[in-house]
Structure 1
């Protein structure tokens, strides 16, 4: 199923490069990958997972003695690699000094020339922030210098577009309903819900903070009230599966709950860059909406935020919700935190709707920095100790295939296993291998997949958003046929690498769908943190099993490891 051009296979065979790297290079660099790598072997650094040392080794194999540390292509590629790694950590900007220091460590003779070469290519920008002047400062005091940072053009442009779009929504907004109607819509609601509805109906951009269930219910209440008064309103979710679950029994007009991906109307575009999805909705063809509510907006990176706000017309209102201290998005940015820090939009805290149960109590405690024992008479929460990674995998398989279906009546296909990351002895990859062997054993005839395999979208596809779960229903020369919540789609062989087995999923990829039962496998050495654990626990609707193989490290991570800092510009950009 993996479509690797013959010339790329020949090149990698000739230089004795690992075979799996060829598939990743084809996916990232596109049809002309081989020619591009012969011309510039350091372009291999664009492929995820490739280190500078590996790229240098590849360049020596391709160029021989012509591969030198001072090659301008090497310096330019290293700059891009450093900024790409910063983006993977969530940063949209990086101080030049950090880049220059890293280039010196990589034995680049002239780091500043390497940065200039990257700037000349257009994939890197210098972004300048004018300082804020203190009007009370003495006239003879030296004025502060503008602050300069480096940024990948892709993320810099997206962050500026997001800032401009959010500012436009703020400035073009007016009350969506008159005072009397807003008062009527608020009647009988608790004070916090009343404030949330009022802010959303009066203000162009609003931030809500609260637990996932409270955010979702308040979003439905708002959209129901808005639609009842003739407004075009929608609840926007990360995935179609989440939209279908939320819409069930919600008593809303058809289409009033929708996944962002489908809402934006992805279009087939042969000219798009590898991995890019082109959307039909945007500035030239905006959505027909007066109000969009995203109850779980913590997953929005700056690029997705930019696409969303550009697709909203002047005068539309946007509500973005998220848990306090939520797990940041997989991509760069921190939209909710930056909006809150800008002090330009109302921020409404939603109190818990009720006492909740053991699941809510545990998740709230973790969110507050404590890992507590909770009473769970109906087995809403079960802690399963494990001595190490191998035992954790065994316990997880046992829970999914036997214990949870037998004791709680929740079928295996409604149980989601989550782990902090894909790798490791008890990571999502190892868990999927064990679960597939029990639930759908097969040789992986079609690019590693078999009919009946549970899958999840791990990188953007036109038919489905990142995090969308599905099931393989067939395969042929055209590709894999996958049943998603929004309908069946064919995933071309070249795009099959964008799917992963989905019985077990890294927490960051699972966050788009809440499940009746969740098995959280937490092993020592994983990327444990308070927001990650709170997010994992919050994915469970009825039952949570925690396979505890991390020992004291779990409580320590919940207590001490919060949201990592991210360098961003959005808080300044939305001020105008």
Structure 2
């Protein structure tokens, strides 16, 4: 399935292809897992329930794993990924085990040999297709939506597959992977006399992400082409009178163009968002402001004068999209009520921290905006890429197809503002903090870093600053590692709410975070467990009490400590940033520091690596297609 220079698919062709491939991709074995992946990852759609009833599947899977020597602990993950018919699917294709989070190629091969005996061949097309999808899934964990085919073929050779091209063809036949032709960029040498034109490059991508990029691109193009000014010149001039030039430009872009990008520091952005929203609503325009979480939306609502009384809806993007309790959805997946068939009833939508949107959510957002609606996407300077694959806002800006308005920088306020602004500029500097707004806590190693963090959360910050534990958020670069969010949560639970983990590892009183979207709460939302039972886990979220079904409970993690990628966009009175040497970048550090409203403690276990990361910038590059698709 290749886009060639001779034929660029029409929107109708792309839509038909997307629908067909998406249906196949729902059953694909390689979708990202929300626990280990950088971002949200709905599970593939399970097959119909076995005829023997809901208990047949678990019993059959347990028996299969006992027969083949697979650890029983893997069964819940396999059931969640492959559905009630997991045992049958694995007997038909044992390499589907490779789609289960944490399973490596060698382990899937061992399982296949145990199940098939001599019929488990190294060149089995089923193995080849599973390996291709596994490699592309691993690339997606690093944020890539596409990977050069040459890299995939080389990796297959290293894994000992005898026919790498055949493996790719097997994956393409299953519609789990798309083959795409990337036209080369021409430089000056390409136009020299006698120069050979560069050959187009074949890239491969999981259908899920490749099709989402196409859908997002088409949505942005549609909004740009169908947009008309929302107000006449006289009304716009009246709204602009007296505004500083940067805010006047931002208002003009929002009301005159279909898609625009607004960039600025958090406080300036919040004021500008409030100003644009209030001005639009005052003219009778249907206006909404969307934040990453319900907690963040409450903060933004306070910045919009009058809030709903002025005709401005302020909510999380998740709730604006109207998630549905759809029992037919795959485990952990979210089906939204708003979309192409039922778009928003809005003239203007402003999205805060839009840099956090991965390409899949960006596609959902674009499709939910009706023709003629205006979309304003906001970001902070140097914002890190989203937790999931892609970098939509960066690509949209790089396409040079939409206006980008940068707010004039303002002098930072207080020690927290000074430190965060210095980091954004590439400098890790000491700040004068007479009110202990910023405290640096050195740690020799990961173990000491965890100990210091627990001490800060449970004793020092509440006692010295009067900030209660529930208003303190611990953040770390990643979930794994000796001082990652997982290790920190284990120590914090032991201190704050010890218990047996009676409900899937959770106890009443545990703080949790949504690691992949739920119908009841968006990615990154935190809540508190209030109870549980066979019916599910009872959680109090900022948006209200919810019962999370057992099949969806794996979308939750303990949330006293969370990776920065999940914490972004939702500020807290106090933040404890635990920074080891791994996974650091200037955007990540600036984001972590910028989450604190009143107090920031930095547990410094990175040594000179922290200053180096801030100085050198550089979040790892991502291979994506959206910029080219939008510019077509």
**Where on the TM-score scale, by shorter chain, does this alignment land: which range?**
over 0.9
Q: Which moved more, 1:139-148 or 1:181-190?
A: 139-148
Q: Deviation of residue 230 (structure 1)?
A: 0.7
Q: How does 1:310-349 map to 2 (within 5 A)?
A: 310-349=367-406
2:307 match = 252
The 2-side partners of 1:231 and 1:103 are apart by 55
Q: Deviation of residue 496 (structure 1)?
A: 1.1
Matched, 1:155 2:209: yes
Q: Does the residue aligned with 2:363 lie in a helix, a strand or coil?
A: helix
Q: CA offsets per residue over residues 448-474 of structure 1, 9 Å max, x none?
A: 001111101111211111111111111
Structure 1: stretches of 5+ with no match in the other structure = none
Q: CA offsets per residue over residues 521-557 of structure 1, 9 Å max, x none?
A: 1123x31111111111111111100011111111112
The 2-side partners of 1:14 and 1:326 are apart by 49
The 1-side partners of 2:558 and 2:564 are apart by 14
Q: 2:245 aligns with which of 185, 191, 196?
A: 191
Contact 1:162 1:302 in 2 (8 A): yes
Contact 1:125 1:150 in 2 (8 A): yes
Q: Deviation of residue 483 (structure 1)?
A: 1.0
Q: Does the residue aligned with 1:376 lie in a helix, a strand or coil?
A: coil
The 2-side partners of 1:216 and 1:85 are apart by 36
1:424 match = 481
Q: 1:24 aligns with which of 63, 77, 88?
A: 77
The 1-side partners of 2:92 and 2:397 are apart by 47
Q: Which moved more, 1:401-410 or 1:352-361?
A: 352-361
Q: Deviation of residue 560 (structure 1)?
A: 2.2
The 2-side partners of 1:179 and 1:197 are apart by 13
Q: Does the residue aligned with 1:5 lie in a helix, a strand or coil?
A: helix
Q: CA offsets per residue over residues 143-165 of structure 1, 9 Å max, x none?
A: 65444311111111110000000
Q: CA offsets per residue over residues 251-287 of structure 1, 9 Å max, x none?
A: 2116611111111111222332333211111111100
Q: Which moved more, 1:63-72 or 1:280-289?
A: 63-72
Q: State the aligned residue count.
A: 574
Contact 1:215 1:296 in 2 (8 A): no
The 1-side partners of 2:603 and 2:409 are apart by 27
Structure 2: stretches of 5+ with no match in the other structure = 1-54
Matched, 1:85 2:138: yes
Contact 1:325 1:563 in 2 (8 A): no
Contact 1:103 1:111 in 2 (8 A): yes
Q: CA offsets per residue over residues 430-463 of structure 1, 9 Å max, x none?
A: 1111111222121111100011111011112111
Contact 1:296 1:320 in 2 (8 A): yes
Q: Which moved more, 1:70-79 or 1:351-360?
A: 351-360
Q: Deviation of residue 130 (structure 1)?
A: 4.7
Matched, 1:545 2:601: yes
The 2-side partners of 1:191 and 1:35 are apart by 65
Q: 1:451 aligns with which of 498, 503, 508?
A: 508
The 1-side partners of 2:105 and 2:422 are apart by 42
Contact 1:468 1:512 in 2 (8 A): no
Matched, 1:286 2:343: yes
Task: Output the aligned Cα RMSD.
Answer: 2.1
Q: How does 1:168-567 map to 2 (within 5 A)?
A: 168-248=222-302, 250=304, 251-253=306-308, 256-524=313-581, 526-567=582-623
Q: CA offsets per residue over residues 392-440 of structure 1, 9 Å max, x none?
A: 1111111111111122121100100011111222111111111112221
Q: CA offsets per residue over residues 189-235 of structure 1, 9 Å max, x none?
A: 22212111111111111111222222222111111111111111111
| TM-score, structure 2 normalization | 0.87
Q: Deviation of residue 86 (structure 1)?
A: 1.2
The 1-side partners of 2:66 and 2:422 are apart by 54
Q: Deviation of residue 56 (structure 1)?
A: 1.5
- After superposition, the Cα gap between the structure-2 partners of 1:214 and 1:57, relative to the gap in structure 1 and judged at 3 Å, is farther
Q: Does the residue aligned with 2:143 lie in a helix, a strand or coil?
A: coil
1:43 match = 96
The 2-side partners of 1:186 and 1:408 are apart by 42
| TM-score, structure 1 normalization | 0.96
Q: CA offsets per residue over residues 119-178 of structure 1, 9 Å max, x none?
A: 000111112345678999699976654443111111111100000000001111111112
Contact 2:424 2:587 in 1 (8 A): yes
The 1-side partners of 2:98 and 2:242 are apart by 58
Q: Which moved more, 1:159-168 or 1:25-34?
A: 25-34
